[in-house]
Amino acid sequence: MAKIPILLAEADGNDKWRVWCPFCVKFHHHRSMEGIRAAHCHDNPDSPFRETGYILKRHPREKK
């Protein structure tokens, strides 16, 4: 089983978090809480995140 990557998320200003996807080369948006997420790599069938998903963590510079 592949290790689930951890991505740092930041607030997007709309009560959601955004996370940069290096495989899609764009931000994906999720609800604002830490935890495992299904990847939103809909435009990139070759993204490894589609298989593993990822864990969202609040970026340290973000206020709680």
2 pLDDT exceeds 90?
A: no
Task: Encode pLDDT of 36-54 as tens digits.
Answer: 999 999 999 999 999 999 9
One-character DSSP codes across 26-46 = EEEEEESS-EEE----TT-TT
- Per-residue pLDDT reduced to its tens digit, 20-37: 999 999 999 999 999 999
Could you tell me the residue ranges of all domains in the chain? 6-58
Residues linked to residue 58 through DSSP beta bridges, in sequence order: 9
Tokens found for residue 24: 């899609």
Over its C-alpha atoms, the chain yields an Rg (Å, rounded) of: 11
